[in-house]
Chain A
Amino acid sequence: MPLEAYLTLAAIVFCIGMFGVITRRNTIGILLGIELMLNAVNINLVAFARYHGDVTGMVFTVFTICITVTEAALGLAIVILLFRIRRTVMADHLDLLKG
């Protein structure tokens, strides 16, 4: 397969994830969309690393996977904290900072 095929696949998955981030009301749903977007970026990194014969992209993929896991743990901790305070995880009900 040409490199473009992988990049196109990653772009489509990225955009689907972005659609989820834009349209979901549930905070956990938004986090799912972010996971999809980061996942698409990983496909890009690995494809470039493979087609250029350079291992750097794969090292960065390991880094992004670790950062994503941390982000998911922190994000879900925040969601649970929000639920404890407001009894809801719908993003449009979380308007504490709205003036």
Chain B
Amino acid sequence: MTLDVLAFWVLAVVLVGSALAVVLSKNLFHAVLWLALALTGTAGIFLILEAEFLAAVQLLLYAGGIVTIMVFAIVVTERLVGESISQTNRRIAAGALVVAVLAGTIVTTIWRQPLTAAAAAQTGDVTRDIGQAVMTRYVLPFELLALLMLAGLMGAIYFARPDD
């Protein structure tokens, strides 16, 4: 068993386990912390796939940014007085059934016929390739993304403005 395979299995177990903890834990605060672990595990998967830049972006934006604002939102909205209200609705069985069927369908479809077996040879610096692609071929989506983020963040500030 090579190091790559071992790392994949360890990260897969961490990722699936923490994802289950995110959706199943009773305490929403714990769920957010499990989400941070799941996102870090994903960064590890990106590292196995030799996408170091994406792993760094994942850690900075997701595990750093999103988890922080999630914690803020929980602190603002939860009534932390120890009342034990059910965190799940009555559709657990139906939801589990739907999700299991969907997972089974996707997984059987994936394994029905062999896909590319071996990874393509890595040529050159992936980070530089990403940068060049963003600045040449995908420059229009990139600028649109900047516009979208500006609009989204202005909207968020507008929503969260103090009462007047």
Residues of A within 8 A of B (CB): 1-9, 11-20, 22-26, 28-29, 31-33, 35-36, 39, 42-43, 46-47, 49-53, 55-56, 58-59, 61-63, 65-74, 76-81, 83-84, 89-92
Measured in the bound complex, the distance between the Cα atoms of B119 and A46 in whole Å is: 12
Minimal beta-carbon separation of A74 from chain B (angstroms): 5
Residues of B within 8 A of A (CB): 4-5, 8, 12, 15-16, 19-20, 22-23, 28, 31-32, 35, 38-39, 42, 45-46, 48-51, 53-54, 57-58, 61-62, 65-66, 69-70, 72-74, 76-78, 85-89, 91-92, 94-96, 98-100, 102-103, 106-107, 110-111, 114-123, 126, 129-130, 133-134, 138, 141-142, 145, 148-149, 152-153, 155-157, 159-160, 163
Minimal beta-carbon separation of A33 from chain B (angstroms): 6
Are the C-beta atoms of B15 and A17 separated by less than 8 Å? Answer: no
Residues of B near A16 (CB, < 8 A) are: 16, 19-20, 22-23, 99
The main secondary structure of chain A at its interface with chain B is helix
Minimal beta-carbon separation of B116 from chain A (angstroms): 5
Are the C-beta atoms of B126 and A73 separated by less than 8 Å? Answer: no
Are the C-beta atoms of A39 and B145 separated by less than 8 Å? Answer: no
Are the C-beta atoms of B138 and A59 separated by less than 8 Å? Answer: yes
In the complex, which residue of chain A has the Cβ closest to the Cβ of B39? A39
Minimal beta-carbon separation of B140 from chain A (angstroms): 12
Residues of B near A65 (CB, < 8 A) are: 54, 57-58, 61-62
Residues of A near B153 (CB, < 8 A) are: 70, 73
- For this complex, 18 residue pairs linking A to B, each with C-beta atoms less than 8 Å apart, are A3-B116, A4-B111, A15-B100, A15-B106, A18-B102, A20-B23, A22-B95, A32-B31, A47-B49, A59-B138, A67-B145, A68-B62, A70-B148, A72-B66, A77-B156, A79-B77, A81-B160, A89-B78
Contact among B45, B100, B145, B159 for A77, CB-based, below 8 A: B159
Measured in the bound complex, the distance between the Cα atoms of B130 and A30 in whole Å is: 32
A15-B103, A28-B74 known; A2+B62 contact, CB < 8 A: no
Extra contacts, 4 of them, besides A16-B22, A19-B96 (Cβ < 8 A), are A9-B15, A22-B95, A50-B50, A55-B130
Are the C-beta atoms of A58 and B126 separated by less than 8 Å? Answer: yes
Residues of A near B129 (CB, < 8 A) are: 55, 58
Contact among A12, A46, A68, A71 for B103, CB-based, below 8 A: A12
Residues of A near B133 (CB, < 8 A) are: 55-56, 59
Measured in the bound complex, the distance between the Cα atoms of B129 and A49 in whole Å is: 12
